[in-house]
Amino acid sequence: MSLQGAFTNKRVLVTGGARGIGAATVRRFLEEGATVAVGARRAASVETLCHELGDGARVVAAPGRLEDRASCAAVVEAAVAGLGGLDVLVNAAGVFAEVPFESVSQAHWNTTFSVNVAGTFFTLQAALPHLEAAEGNAVNLGSDAGLLGFPPSSVYSGAKAAVVNLTRALALELAGRIRVNCVCPGNVATDMINAAAETSGDRQAYLAAAQARAPMGRMARPEEVADAILYLASHRASFTHGAILSVDGGGVCGF
């Protein structure tokens, strides 16, 4: 999908931008003319991606763990310093693990909600003045697990459900100031799902089940999710606000 340079000279921060959906989103924004700040937990991951992209003039490093208000603010500050402002925020940072209910630890709960929910909330809070000044917008990354129950990952499901309803609540609260939308992918062919498959005990069966969850019979490509994010962030979605866009091959339609 080409937006014909819709993001030329636009300044974009993509958290979780060093791999998977985030990295695909960074590449798509660059293709459409944007300057992009790449956020990720590890500075080395950001440096590796920036080296691969090979366009130092249009790529800014903004690493940070996004686990509390201060760290989120620091990432936004680094991005704004490097970009000179901010037109679009993509909250793509997230963590995922399948942990049965009885085995959930306090640490797993805290990490899952800190990164997926607090990271989304406080990064947008820090970015709001810059986005408002630029008449910009934010796109949050939810999940089909935030729309449907997803065992054995009740904590992740709860966290992504929070992101979905947070998007709706902020769309009401921030209406007329910035647009806020959410993309909810199904299973996506990334290293995150490959890692889950490796730890499942039967990699092939896990991946086959992941593909079968979508009526279309396959997993999404990261670029397909990135295209949905770019659409919501673009002028073509100028009257789209508070939307929860599923990119899951029809999986949330039912069984």
- What does the alpha-carbon distance between residue 231 and residue 242 come to, in Å, rounded to a whole number? 14
Residue 196 lies in a domain: no
Domain count, the chain: 1
Locate 109 and state its tokens.
Answer: 């709960």
CA dist 40 → 22, 30, 53, 59, 246 (Å) = 9, 17, 15, 13, 24
- Whether 235 maps to a domain, the answer reads yes
d(CA 81, CA 252): 40
pLDDT at 167: 98
- The answer to the question of residue 142 being in a domain is yes
Record the tokens describing residue 189, joined without a space. 């062919």
Answer whether 157's CB lies under 8 Å from 146's CB: yes
Does some domain include residue 123? yes
Angle between helices 191-199 and 203-212 in degrees, nearest 10: 130
Strand partners, 221: none
Sign, CA dihedral 131-117-220-54, equals positive
**Confidence band for 150, pLDDT divided at 50, 70 and 90:** confident
In a domain, 205, yes or no: no
Q: Given this model, what pLDDT does residue 42 score?
A: 85
Distance CA(187)–CA(247), nearest Å, equals 9
Name the catalytic one among 7, 113, 122, 156. Answer: 156
Strand order in the sheet with 59-61: 59-61, 35-38, 11-15, 88-91, 137-141, 179-185, 244-247
- pLDDT band of residue 255 (cuts 50, 70, 90) is low
Residue 88 burial (CB < 10 Å; 0-12/13-18/19+)? Answer: buried
175 domain-assigned: yes
**Hunting for tokens 């606000």 — which residue is that?**
241
CB 15 within 8 A of CB 90: yes
Give the pLDDT mean for 1-14.
Answer: 85
Evaluate whether residue 3 is within a structural domain. no
Proportion of the chain above pLDDT 90, given as a percent:
80
Residue-wise pLDDT tens digits, 151-202: 899 999 999 999 999 999 999 999 999 999 999 999 999 988 988 888 888 8
Confidence (pLDDT) at 57 = 67
| CATH number (domain holding residue 163) | 3.40.50.720
Q: In sequence order, which ranges of 12-88 are alpha helices (DSSP H)?
A: 20-31, 43-53, 69-83
pLDDT in tens, 91-112: 999 999 999 999 999 999 999 9
Whose CA is closest to 23, among 43, 5, 45? 45
- Report yes or no on 144 lying in a domain: yes
Using DSSP's 3-state secondary structure scheme, residue 1 falls into coil
Strand partners, 141: 183
156 labelled catalytic: yes
* Domain hosting residue 229, numbered range: 11-185+220-247
